[in-house]
Amino acid sequence: MPRGGDPCVPALKASQTDQLTGLPNCRQILGLLDEALAANEDTGSGLCVAVIDIDHFKAINDAHGHEAGDAVLEHFARSCREKVRAQDDLGRTGGEEFLLLIFPRLRGHRVSSFSARPVRV
Tell me the catalytic residues.
Answer: 96
Strand order in the sheet with 48-53: 48-53, 97-102, 89-94
- Nearest residue to 16 via CA among 33, 6, 34, 29: 29
Cα 25 to Cα 99: distance, rounded to the nearest angstrom: 10
Residue type, 32: L
